[in-house]
Amino acid sequence: MIDGKRVLIILPAWNEAEGLPGVLKEIQTELPGVDTLVVDDGSTDRTAAVATENGSPVAQLPYNLGVGGAMRLGYRYAHLHGYDVAIQVDSDGQHNPSYVPQLLAKLEEADLVIGARFAGQGDYTVRGPRKWAMKLLSVVLSRITRTRLTDTTSGFRACNKQMIEFFAQWYPVEYLGDTIESMVGAARCGFTVRQVPVAMRERTTGTPSASPIKATVYLTRAGLVLLLAMIRRMPPHLKNLAHAAPARQPQRQLVGGN
């Protein structure tokens, strides 16, 4: 419980047995009273056992579904157990849980809050085609969401109750869908998206793709994902969820009306 709200931290994990104990311990000390859920995305190592040993519930997928599938499972769990807020955190230690209170505070005025790099905090930099791709994405997504977004591919994000229900029913599974398309889908259905600057840490495991060819492929795929996200027909019943969200702007007073 934080400020009377039941908060769940979702950690999608695929073969993260090494880094997971550190991340879970940090969350438990930084954020007492917050529940965690490790989504074991068909790991072949001891990910699920390590999570249990470190006192976190686990949802274990029978085989690998990718980040999108793991995240929808996380949101389905959050919805099923009636959580008010769900926060997505990578289990490789890139995301610093001490920023969670700031994400929570921003949820007062938004349905989906992104923890963004390049927004003043930290010194995370990229260059070349990958930078252009990120620039293009932030320009286009800023227009779609009608707010300034600098880091659209960040997996550090917080959702309110309506957003949880939305993502429990609809979460893209394709490449980059978990970050870009999910945000576009939410915005197109009328949810409010905002960002909060955060500093990212060096990832403890794995390496980012750095070669120019890979970066160009990334740019192309990102463009395609974006295009598809823009033209895809959203299931109509999901739009009602956004309308059920608490109104942000104070309603204009009707003077003299009955």
Partner 1 sequence: MRLTIITSITGVLVLVYILELLRRQQLREKYAAIWLVIGLVVAPLGFFPSILDSTARRLGIASGVSLVLFAGIILIFLVSLHLSWEASRLEAETRSLAEEVALLRSHLVEHHGYPVRKDGTAATPAQDTEVYS
User: From the CB of 186, what's the least distance to partner 1, in Å?
Assistant: 20
Q: Of 102 and 169, which has the nearer Cβ to partner 1?
A: 169
Q: Which residues pair with 13 in a beta bridge?
A: 40
User: From the CB of 226, what's the least distance to partner 1, in Å?
Assistant: 20
- Report the DSSP pairing between strands 35-40 and 7-13: parallel
Q: Of 41 and 111, which has the nearer Cβ to partner 1?
A: 41
Q: Of 53 and 109, which has the nearer Cβ to partner 1?
A: 53
User: From the CB of 53, what's the least distance to partner 1, in Å?
Assistant: 9
Q: Are 254 and 166 in contact (CB under 8 A)?
A: no
User: From the CB of 13, what's the least distance to partner 1, in Å?
Assistant: 11
User: From the CB of 83, what's the least distance to partner 1, in Å?
Assistant: 14
Q: Of 151 and 178, which has the nearer Cβ to partner 1?
A: 178
Q: Are 61 and 39 in contact (CB under 8 A)?
A: yes
Binding site for partner 1 (CB under 8 A): 37, 39-40, 42-44, 46-52, 57-63, 65, 69, 72-73, 76-77, 80, 173
Largest Cα span, the chain: 67
Q: Of 6 and 46, which has the nearer Cβ to partner 1?
A: 46
